[in-house]
Every structure is written in C-alpha cells, then in structure tokens.
C-alpha cells in the first residue's frame, strides 16, 4: 500500500532503482521507501551498501552525502544537486541491479521503518489496516519522538483515544492516528485531497480493519485493487 504512494505501483520490487528530486526539500528521493539525500537514511543506506560491497557504484558519493546531511536542513536540497550531479542518479540506477544493494535497501527499510511500525501496532492491538497505516506514517514521517515524527504522531493519537489494547474502539483509535498525521501534513503544506490520508480514511470507512481481500483504494488519482494478497517474492524471503 505504501508503494502506491511512494512509487505509484503495487509491485514494490520494481522500486530499487527509482530516484528523483520530487521538490519536497529533501533532495533526491530513491529506492523502496524513498530514502532521501537530505535526511540521514540515504547516507545510512549507502554506508551499509559499502560495507557489503566496498567498490560499489555509489561508494564515491559517501563523502558528498555526509556533507549534505551535515549542512543546515534548508540547504540540503540544493546541496544535493551541487555535490551529487551529474553522476549520482545513473550510479544509483546501476547499483539497483546489484543484489547487495537490494538487500541493503530491504534491511534498512526493516530496521528503520517496518520493525518499529510492527512493534507499535502489536503493542497497541492494531490489526492489518492499523499496521498499514503505522508503516506508512513511519516511512513518510520518519523515526523520532517529536510531534511530526512517527512516535510523536502515535503519542498524539493515544492521548486523544484509547488504543485497542487499552480497551478502545479500533476504528476510532485509528481515525485519531490519521487525524494526528493529517494535522502534521497540513502544517507541512502537504495534505493532499487525494493522497495518503484520504486513502486511509476511505479504507477506515469500509470497516475492513483486517484488510480481507479484495481491497481497493485510490492514491493520487490512481485506483488500485488487490484481489488477493500475494506471497512475498523469493528475494524478500531470502530464498
């Protein structure tokens, strides 16, 4: 579901080589979960990749990525182009064919975004739709406890409504999570009428908290339907 927001596709496995500047102030956005040159996760990814494959196509850009993250946040988008152009984008796309880079993306995705979302969803008693919402918030807002980050958004929601684990109504609690996230996106100027919040509100309105297929939703004007949840690809299973 998050892949439809990040890459406009249900097939997230096609996103390893995705990279562009989407003009959100974070520099280049690339890969499975939108690792950004203007935040620390793209640097962490390339470092992890270099640990697996020191002579990889992205290794020459480690110094530049480090300098970008060390700069004041407002300067990072422009600095990304100044220090990374013109070779970084083709190098990223070339690296996407390397199993070591693909594994590094999956590992960092799980560490930074999936595992915290899964742990929090289990602790709060949230089901499949709740986990999908948690994961999307985790990816889009990043880890942290400030009110704009994943932990802070959950804290705001928990203050507004009891979690299912605490005896609260699951749908009402998840609506509070979506509302807390919407408030942050509105402050960012990024609350789009056909975006992530609208999709999650529409799914909540169906009452299908277990995401029992078929499941359909709209994201940024595109319609997606999952008739049955597929098995993870062999690469994801480690086969």
Are 127 and 233 part of one and the same domain? yes
Cβ-based neighbours of 107, under 8 Å, separated by 6 or more: 48
Average pLDDT, the chain: 96
Q: Does residue 11 fall inside a structural domain?
A: no
pLDDT band at 157 (very low <50, low <70, confident <90, very high): very high
How confident is the model at residue 28, as a pLDDT? 98
Are 136 and 209 part of one and the same domain? yes
Alpha-carbon distance of 102 to 91, in angstroms, equals 14
Alpha-carbon distance of 237 to 103, in angstroms, equals 11
Is-contact 109 135, C-beta < 8 A? no
Q: What is the pTM of this model?
A: 0.94
User: End of a domain among 41, 69, 95?
Assistant: 95
Is-contact 91 84, C-beta < 8 A? no
Is-contact 96 16, C-beta < 8 A? yes
Are 159 and 62 part of one and the same domain? no
pLDDT band at 231 (very low <50, low <70, confident <90, very high): confident
Query: Strand order in 35-36's β-sheet?
Result: 19-21, 28-30, 35-36
Q: Does residue 8 fall inside a structural domain?
A: no
Are 58 and 144 part of one and the same domain? no
How confident is the model at residue 237, as a pLDDT? 62
Is-contact 6 15, C-beta < 8 A? yes
User: End of a domain among 62, 95, 128?
Assistant: 95
User: End of a domain among 35, 63, 95?
Assistant: 95
Q: Does residue 193 fall inside a structural domain?
A: yes
Instruction: Look up the CATH number of the domain holding residue 209.
Output: 1.20.141.10
Are 150 and 224 part of one and the same domain? yes
Q: Which residues does the annotation mark as catalytic?
A: 6, 24
Tell how far CA 224 is from the center of its chain: 18
Q: Does residue 100 fall inside a structural domain?
A: no
Are 146 and 82 part of one and the same domain? no
Is-contact 108 44, C-beta < 8 A? yes
- The mean per-residue pLDDT over the stretch 16-43 comes to 97
pLDDT band at 80 (very low <50, low <70, confident <90, very high): very high
Q: Does residue 7 fall inside a structural domain?
A: no
How confident is the model at residue 239, as a pLDDT? 42
Number of domains, the chain? 2
Q: Is the pLDDT of residue 233 over 70?
A: yes
Are 35 and 118 part of one and the same domain? no
Q: Does residue 224 fall inside a structural domain?
A: yes
- The mean per-residue pLDDT over the stretch 208-237 comes to 92
Are 119 and 229 part of one and the same domain? yes
Residue range(s) defining the domain that contains residue 176? 109-237
Q: From residue 88, give the alpha-carbon distance in Å to each of 58, 108, 122, 183, 233.
A: 7, 20, 39, 35, 28
Residues of the chain above pLDDT 70, percent? 99
Q: Is the pLDDT of residue 238 over 70?
A: no
Q: Where is pLDDT greater, at 232 or 176?
A: 176
How confident is the model at residue 183, as a pLDDT? 98
Strand, coil or helix: 21: strand
């Amino acid at each position: 579901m998050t892949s439809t927001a990040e890459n406009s596709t249900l097939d997230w496995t096609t996103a390893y080589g995705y990279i562009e500047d989407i003009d959100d102030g974070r520099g280049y956005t690339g890969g499975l979960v939108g690792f950004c040159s203007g935040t620390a996760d793209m640097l962490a990814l390339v470092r992890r990749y270099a640990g697996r494959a020191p002579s990889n196509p992205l290794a020459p850009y480690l110094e530049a990525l480090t300098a970008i993250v060390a700069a004041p946040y407002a300067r990072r988008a422009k600095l990304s182009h100044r220090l990374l152009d013109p070779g970084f984008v083709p190098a990223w796309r070339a690296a996407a064919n390397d199993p070591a880079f693909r594994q590094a993306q999956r590992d960092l995705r799980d560490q930074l975004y999936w595992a915290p979302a899964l742990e929090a969803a289990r602790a709060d008693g949230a089901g499949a739709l709740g986990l999908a919402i948690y994961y999307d918030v985790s990816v889009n807002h990043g880890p942290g406890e400030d009110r704009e980050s994943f932990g802070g958004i959950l804290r705001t929601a928990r203050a507004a409504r009891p979690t299912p684990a605490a005896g609260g109504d699951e749908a009402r609690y998840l609506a509070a999570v979506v509302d807390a996230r919407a408030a942050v996106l509105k402050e960012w100027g990024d609350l789009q009428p056909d975006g992530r919040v609208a999709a999650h509100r529409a799914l909540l309105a169906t009452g299908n908290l277990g995401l029992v297929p078929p499941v359909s939703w709209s994201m940024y004007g595109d319609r997606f339907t999952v008739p049955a949840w597929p098995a993870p690809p062999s690469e994801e299973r480690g086969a």
